[in-house]
Amino acid sequence: MFVAIKQERPFISIEGRKRRISTRFYNALCVLSLGGVYMVCRYLPSVKHFLLSSPCSLSEADCAIITSQNGKREFINVLFYDTSEIPSLRRYSQGGRARVIDSQLSRLIYDVVSRKFVVPPEQKLLSRDFEELYSMEVSKSSEAENAESIQRNIFYGKNITNLPIPSIPEIILKNVFSITFLSNMICLFVWEFIEYTKYAFVMGILMLYSFVFTNWEEILHSISMRKLVKKRMVRILRGGRFVKVDSREIYPGNIMYIEPCKEFPCDALVIRGDAITNECLLTGEAVPIYKNADQPSTVYSGTDVLKSINTVPTFTNPRNENLCRVKSLTSKSKQRTTGMVGSMHIPENFAIGMVLRTGFQTARGQILKNMVNSKPVHNRFIKEAEAIIFGIAGIGMIVSVGMAYVFKMMGFDARTNLVYNLDLFFTLANPALPTYLRLGAQLCYKKLIKKNIYCNNLNKIHLAGRVDTAVFDKTGTLTCDGLDLLCVDDLVEATDDIDKVSTLIRIGLSTCHLVYELDGRYSGDTLDLKMFIFSSSKLVQNENTRSVVIGGQNKIYGPILKEYNDSEEMVYYQKDKTHGNKLVSGDSGTYEESKDTSPVILNIDGVHGHNNLNEGYKDDQDDVINAMIVKTYEFDSNIRRMSVVVDVGSRKYVFTKGSPESIQQILRECPKGYEEKAKVYSLGGYRVISLSYKEISKSVDRIVDEHEMEFLALIVFSNKLKANSKRTIEELNGANIRNIMCTGDNILTAISVGKECKIVEDFVPVIFPVLEENAKSIFDVDWLCVGDEEEFTFDKVKLSLYRGNDRVSNNEFVVACEGREFDFFRNTHYFQFILEKGAIFARFNPGQKKALIENLRAIGKITMFCGDGANDSGALSSADVGLALAQNEASLAANFTSVDIGSCLDLIKEGRSAFVTSVGTFKYVVSSCVIAYVGLLFLSLRKNFLSDIQTMHADLFVSVPVTYMLTCFDASDKLFPSRPDMFLLPKKDFIPFWITIAFESLILLALSWYGEASPAMNDQSIGAELVFFVTTFIYIFNGMYLSEWSPYRQSLRSNVLFKAFIFFALLTSIALLIVVYIFPEWTSLWLKEYKFVRTSGFEVGLVFISMFLIATVVFIVQPLIGRMFDEEKKRSMMGGDSSENI
C-alpha cells in the first residue's frame, strides 16, 4: 500500500544536535536570571542553540536544526517511536526505535540504510474498487490492523494543519520581555528618579494601556483561533464497520465517509458515490465543483462538502424524503458487485473516500506552509529605517560614554550619572520608534476592510503602492462570470433558434457537458449550463446512467437553474426564449444582445411532474429522442477539449467540444471557411467553442474515440466586460501602470477584449508569433499583425515594426503571445522582448501564468496579479501583490481578497497613502527625538533641565498629537503617474532633512546657553524656558512640513481637522508665551508647575526671531535645496541618456 513518491524538499539542510541541558534546566536559568537568558536567547537564537545542544551526527541526534530555503532556522526535538513489533519498519528502526523529525516544513524519518532523514513514503492508491478495499479491510487480523495503524502514525503523525497557537502565559511572557516594554519600564524608573513624577505617572498610564490593549488583542486572537480548532468526529472503516474517530486520528490509507461539513479534514479520493464541494477557501472561486468515483476526483482539505451521496441503494431515511437520489452520474467502467453489497455495513447514504494526505501535506496544509515559509518581502523602506534606528542608537551610546565622563567631571555620583545618561539615551533612541515603521500599513489595513478588501499580509501593503505592472485574468475578472450563448454556426447558417439546428447538433449540445442533477438542482460550469439550457432538453438520472430527453415538452422557457445555490427563495426568470440574445439578421450574421442577463433557476421537481412549472414549457409536441451518456472524458486543460460517448437508440456516437484549434487537430477533414469564421468571431471578442462528432461501433479509449471526427458547428458565446473594467484599466493607464491580460482563451478573442477594455489602444497594432509545424528555431516563426488596414513589416533581427514602405521604425506597437510560443522562446533573445512589449498572453495554463509573473519580477517589475482564483492561485501567490476576486475573504490563494475589479485601484491608492504616511510619521518622530535630545543635552551641560510639566506639555500636548494627526489623511481620489520614492530618505530629501535639523539644533544650542549656568541640577531657568517654547514651535513646523504628501494622499489644504489642530497648537503656544511675559504674577500663581521665570521683552523677541528663522528654513530653504538636488539628478539622467544615444 505504501509507495515512495518524490517530493520537493522545502529545506536545504538538517544539522544533527545532541542536548547539553534539559528544557527544565534552561527554564530554571531563565527564571534565575530574571529573564536575562530568555532575552538573549530570544533575540540571538544561535546562542540558544549553543546553550541547549552541541553538534553531532544524524544517527546520534536527539534534536536538530532545520534551515529552510529562505534561511529560517528551526530547532526541533527528535521524536522516538517503538518499532520492535513492526517488521516492515526495519529500514527505519535503530535499536528498536524509529526517529522522526516533525516540523512545519516537513515530517522526516531517519533512514538507517542511507543514514539521513528522508520524507516518509506517501500513500498511493493501488486500487480504486471499493469492494476490493472493503474485502482487504475485513480480512485483516487485529494484529495486522494495529501494526498498520502504528506504522501510519509514525509515517504521517497527527492530522493537524493548525499553526502553533500561543497560550495566554506565553503571550504575556513574550510582551513582558520585549525590548519596547523593558525600555519603557527603565524610562519610568529614570523619570521617577529625576523627579518627573507627573510625567512618569501620565506616561505610565499610557504605557500600561498600550501593554494591556496589545495583550488583550493577542489573547482574543488566540482564543478565537482555538475555537476554530474544534474537535471533529469522522467515520472511518475498521473491521468491516464505519466507526467514529477524532479527525486528528485519521491517516493516509483509511477508508472514510465523505460527509457534508465545513472544512473537510484531509485530502481524500472519492472511490464510491458523488459529492459537490466548494473550494473557495483554497482557490477563491465559490462555484460548486462536482466530484465522482468514475473519474480520479479528490476532495481537498479545507473545502466545504455541500452534498454527498452514495451510489448503492440504501434504506430510506425519513429525514431525507425530498433528497433526489443520484445513483451514478456517469457510467461505471464495470458493474458493481451486487452480491457483496448486502453483506456490507453501509448504513448511511454518503460518498466514500480513501484518505490520501493529512496534516501539512494536504492542499490546505501546503498553502499554509507556503504562507509561513514564504520568501521575505524585501522592503527597502523598512531596511533603511532599521539602519537609521541602529545608527541613532549607536550615536546615542557613543555620546553617552562621553557624557558619562562630562558628568563625572561635573561632580555627579555614579548613580546620578547613570540615570541622567539613560534619560539622554532613551530620549534619542525612543523605544517606540520601530512601531512607527508599520503604522501606515496598520491603519491602511483597517481602511481596506471598510472597502471590503481583506488582507492577510501587512508587509505587502507598502508594495501595493509601488506596483508598476498589473496583470489581469480575463474571464471572471475583466469580463462577467456568466456567458450568453449568442448563436450556433454550422458554417452554412448562424442561428439562435434551437429548432433550426440539425438533430446531431442538438444531441451534441444536450449531452456534451458536465451538468448534473443533485438534490433537485442542476450544477455545473456556467458555459455547460448555458449550452444545456439552449438545447431545451431534460436531464434524467437513473440508477447507473445519466441520460437526456430531447424534444417533446422539454423546451424550457420558465425558471431554469443556472448553477448550484443554497438559496431556496432566489428564483429568476428568463424573459425571452432567445436566452439573452436576439438574432437581427441571419443573412448578415449580426446580432443584438439583450439587456437581460439575469440568472435562471430550474426546480427539478417541476420537471418531474409538478404542475406549477408546466406553464413554462411549450405545448407543441415534437419527436422525442432519448440519448444515454455512457462515458465521459472530462475536460483536459492540456488538449483543451472534453468528450462524451452517447447511445442514441441502436447507434453510438462520440461528441467532442473544445477550442477551435484543438478540434481542428482531430477532424478527419477541416471544412472550408472553418478557420476564417472562427477568426471573425474571435476578433469580435466572442468566445468560440467547436463541436464535432463521429459514429462508432464501440468505445475503446480517448485517443481512439477522439480520432477522425466530423465537424458539427461553432458555438459562439458573448462575454461582456464588467461595468467598471474599462474605467479601471483607463485609470491605471493614466497612472503609467502597465496593464497585461493573461488568459486561457483564444488569442484573437483576448486581443479584441484587450482593445475593448483599453489594455491595448485602438490605434496600436498588435503583433503575435505563430509557430510553424515542426519549428526548430526562432526563424521558423511567422509574425502576424492585428491593427488597422495598413501593411506592417516586422524585422526579426532588430525587433522593430515598420509601417508600409516607411523605413523608420514604429515603436507604438505591442506583442501578444500564446503559451506554446512563450515556452518556445524561453531561452532566446525574443523572450526579453516579449516580456517588455507583451500586453496579451493567451492560451496560458496555470503554470505558464505563474511563470509569466516570476519572469516579470525577474526583470525588476513590481507586479500585481488580479484573478478570480480558480486557475490563478500559482500566479496570485507568485506576484508581489496578489488580488483574488473571490466570494470569501478567507481565501488563502492571495495576499488580498475582494469582489470588485475596481479594488485594485483602491489597493494601489491606499498602498501609496500607507507608504507616505509611514515615511512622514517616521521622519517626524526621528526629528522630534533628535530635537528633544539636543535640547536636553545642551541644557544638561549647564545643569539645567526642563520642568516636569514643560516636558509633559511638549510631548503629550504637542508632539504626540501631531504624530497622530499625521496619520489622519485619506488616500488620494486619483492615481497619478508618479510613484512614491522607494527610498526612505533619498538624496533630495536626506540632505535638506538633516540640514534643517542641524539648523534647529544650532538655535537650541544658542538659547540653552542664554543665561547663567546652575551650580546644581535645576529645572527652573530662563535657558530651559526659551528651549521649551522654541522646541514646541519646532514640533509644530516640522509636523506641518511633513504632512504634505500630495498627490499620494489628501492634501494639507483639504484636511480641515489637521489645519484646525495646528492653528490651535500655534495659538496656544503663542498665547502661553505672551501670558508668561505680560502676567508674571498670574503665571506664578496658576501655572507654577511649569516653573517659568520672569521673562523680558528681549527674551520674548528671541523666541519670535527663532520662530521666524526656523520657519524660513523649514518652509523655504528645505524645499529649495530639495529641488536643487532633484534638478541635478534630472540633468545627470538626461546627460547619461544623451551619451548613450551618441
According to the model, what pLDDT value does residue 441 have? 86
The H or E element spanning position 1054 is: none
CA R_g for the chain: 37
Query: How high is the pLDDT of residue 2?
Result: 35
The three-state (H, E, C) secondary structure of 838-897, written as one string? EEEEECCCHHHHHHHHHHHHHCCCCEEEEECCCCCHHHHHHCCEEEEECCCCCCCCCCEE
Of 1058, 1042, 1013, the C-alpha closest to 1119 is 1042
CA-nearest of 539, 562, 555 to 608 is 539
Cα within 13 Å of Cα(964), Cβ side:
9
3-state helix, strand, coil in the chain (%, to 5): 45, 20, 35
- Averaged pLDDT in 10-residue chunks for the chain of 1142 residues: 40 85 90 87 89 91 85 86 84 88 84 88 70 80 83 87 80 88 90 90 90 88 72 84 89 90 88 81 64 81 84 43 35 36 58 88 78 67 86 92 91 90 91 82 89 86 91 86 83 88 90 75 76 85 70 46 34 33 37 36 33 32 76 80 90 92 91 90 86 91 90 89 91 94 87 90 87 74 74 78 68 87 86 92 87 91 83 81 72 78 93 92 94 94 91 93 93 89 78 94 93 83 94 96 91 92 95 93 88 91 95 94 82 54 36
pTM, full prediction: 0.77
Measured CA to CA in angstroms, residue 815 lies from 49, 429, 479, 790, 822 at distances of 54, 53, 21, 17, 11
Q: What is the pLDDT of residue 457?
A: 81
pLDDT for 713: 93
* Distance separating alpha carbons of residues 398 and 408, to the nearest angstrom: 16
Angle value at C-alpha 876, between 872 and 881, nearest 5 degrees:
150
Give the Cα separation of 398 and 933 in Å (integer).
Answer: 14
pLDDT at 1046: 87
Determine the pLDDT at residue 1111. 96
